[in-house]
Chains A and B, each alone.
Chain A
Amino acid sequence: MADVQQLILAGADERDLSKLAEYQAIGGYGALAKARGMTREQVIEEISTATLRGRGGAGFPMGRKLSLVQPPEVAGKPTYVVANADESEPGSFKDREILRRVPHRFLEGCLIAAHAIGSKHVFVYIRGEYAAEYEVLKTAADEVRDADLLGDVTIVLHRGAGAYICGEETALLDSLEGKRGQPRPRPPFPPISGLYSAPTLINNVQTLANAPIIIERGAKWYTSIGPEASPGTVVFSLSGNVERPGNYELPLGTTLRELIYDVGGGVAGGRPLKAVIPGGSSVPVFTPDEIDTTADFDSIQAAGSYLGSAAIIVIDDRACMVQLGLRVEKFYMHESCGKCTPCREGTRWMVSLLEKIETGRAEHSDLDLLRGICDRVEGRSLCALGDFAVWPIKSYIDKYRDEFEAHIEQGGCPYGGASSLEGVVAPIDQHAHAPVAEVPA
């Protein structure tokens, strides 16, 4: 049985940690004081030794990112900390819980990061839909300011307006600068040239919330939790056809089987398991015989997928994999920013071919064409959205090919309307492209 071990959410079950006094009662902002008594290099060294890997999806070590950011005196201009609170990966709802329940642990992490790179400016980019979480965070940030904990640092909360792509770091920076959120070519990477062309540290909410824990208890203690290459805990988001969906904080290295069956209580209604998405809708799917993989960055990658944002979606036997592919692909088509041709055009082609297969109008050559498009879109865009649009579909075809072929051979969906995903209306289906007009008087 997997043991729930709380570091990020520690104390939030017993106390209302959205309040500064409560957070300080359990030692909150002690790590900030400790960090400010250390040199920048010492703080970076501690986080590097802790092997803290980014929790936003890519798993990049935070310590390395910190060490890459030019200090303001070298850059000759102000530098920035940007917190990525634009959580939008389908299946992921962990940052929302962190923002709502432990906003001060996150803000303390932002201030420690600011100290580590010598920055005076923190921007938090919070997704527009999170209105309630914005209010909690704003109250918390005001408390921090009024308690004189900011030092000479300012914290600005920036609200997004509904665009998945803005979770991608360079698109987020463009959005923050007041433009359409479209990714930038890299290099230069944000630590060299980020927000307003200045050195910028950009990290996910959960990554930053780990910083106070590492500073307070030390890297040595932190690395004793979970596997050596991915220490610490992760807040796993469990959703879909599972008995007890929700967020569960566990050490990295718990198996998917334990997560689904022990922690989540198994497939809802005791139905057979058909598929598991281990890291949000953008990653390759696992079949039931792959769920003994341990959920950490390296093990999942070795098994052919990604831990991503640790969003685990459980899918039971009632789901048609072609319909799942269609729903997922419509999302990526909707969210493609339009900048790179392979992603913009490829997602449209993929949706149209998936529709053809689902409605029984396809031939076997259409399936080959679809699979071929996957290979020609992957790796050919400025950001990973182009890959995200391909990885799931590729894996559905490769692992559930018989289901795709059944659609073609039977001239329609073998589920005959009984699939759990039957008839789902994706937002892109309702786009009216209404002309801009004044309301008649």
Chain B
Amino acid sequence: MSSLRKKIRKAAKPYPDRRSGVMNGLRLAQQHYGGWLPPKALAEVADALDLTPAHVQSVASFYDMYHLAPVGEHVVEVCTNVSCALVGAQQVVEAFEQELGVRVGETSEDGKVTLRTIECAGGCGYAPVVVVDHRYREPTRPEDVPGILAELGDG
């Protein structure tokens, strides 16, 4: 049994119904496959939990945090919902676009950073919110952007 399969099955154990393990399974598979879910990852989750690949795909395509296309080594997400937008989120987006030479939704040419905008991350009082590889940086100003990217370059 592959180590991923073992992990997925273990994470499904606390639930009365194995099907409830699909979200943990997708998260683990995404970690395993470098931040996104290629078709074979969906097949592995389905297989580990005795589900059909179609069901697993239907779940994977529903939630924003599962990526069905490749992403960069790092993912930078800028919240542009109301509270962040009111205090300058768009200027932060533009600073990232300029530094990275990409538009939102794209990955830098070296494959290092994917830039996305996201809906409310729950940091409205510390806006604008930027999430780098699942870590919140609150608040982020346009002038902080080069420093954030420099940190990723060193990592």
Please list the residues of chain A having a beta carbon within 8 angstroms of any beta carbon in chain B. 78, 87-93, 95-96, 121, 127-132, 154, 156, 158-164, 175-181, 196, 237-241, 245-247, 268, 277, 281, 311, 313, 315-316, 319, 324, 327-328, 331, 334-335, 337, 420-427, 429-432, 434-439
Contacts and interface: CB of A to CB of B under 8 A. Distances in A.
B93 interface: yes
Contacts of B24: 158-159
A431 B69 CA distance: 11
Contacts of B116: 427, 430
A327 B81 contact: yes
Contact of A281 (B14, B81, B89, B134): B81
A313 B86 contact: yes
Contact of A90 (B38, B81, B131): B81
Given A96-B122, A429-B117, 12 more contacts: A90-B124, A156-B14, A161-B27, A161-B65, A181-B63, A196-B16, A239-B125, A240-B82, A241-B86, A425-B104, A436-B38, A438-B39
A281 B119 contact: no
Residue of A160, A180, A247 most packed against chain B (CB within 10 A): A180
A159 B20 CA distance: 11
Contacts of B95: none
B86 A159 contact: no
B118 to A, nearest CB: 6
22 contacts: A88-B120, A93-B124, A128-B65, A132-B136, A158-B23, A163-B63, A178-B20, A178-B51, A240-B87, A245-B125, A246-B125, A246-B126, A313-B83, A313-B86, A327-B81, A331-B120, A421-B90, A423-B90, A425-B90, A427-B64, A430-B105, A436-B39
Nearest to A248: B125
Contact of A434 (B69, B87, B88, B127): B69
Of A121, A164, A239, A281, the most chain B CB neighbours within 10 A belong to A239
Nearest to B97: A425
B70 interface: yes
B61 to A, nearest CB: 8
B59 interface: yes
B3 interface: no
B6 interface: no
Contact of B124 (A131, A162, A181, A237): A237
Main secondary structure of the interface of A (DSSP, over half): loop
Interface in B107-133: 116-127, 131
A325 B32 CA distance: 40
A130 B122 contact: yes
A128 B83 contact: no
Interface of B: 14-17, 19-24, 26-27, 38-40, 51, 58-59, 62-66, 68-70, 80-83, 85-90, 93, 103-105, 116-127, 131, 134-136
A32 to B, nearest CB: 22
Contact of B23 (A159, A247, A313, A421): A159
A127 B134 CA distance: 12
Contacts of B136: 132
B45 to A, nearest CB: 11
A407 to B, nearest CB: 19
Given A160-B23, A178-B17, A281-B81, A240 B62 contact: no
A149 to B, nearest CB: 18
Nearest to A246: B125
A425 B124 contact: no
CB-based closest 6 A-B pairs: A162-B64, A430-B105, A161-B63, A239-B124, A178-B19, A162-B65
A429 B118 CA distance: 11
Contact of B127 (A181, A239, A431): A239
B82 A427 contact: no
A427 B120 CA distance: 10
B69 A437 contact: yes
A91 B87 contact: no
A419 B87 CA distance: 11
A89 B17 contact: no
A127 B122 contact: yes
Contacts of B120: 88-92, 164, 281, 331
Given A327-B85, A421-B85, A436-B69, A178 B119 contact: no
B72 to A, nearest CB: 12
Contacts of B51: 178
Nearest to B134: A131
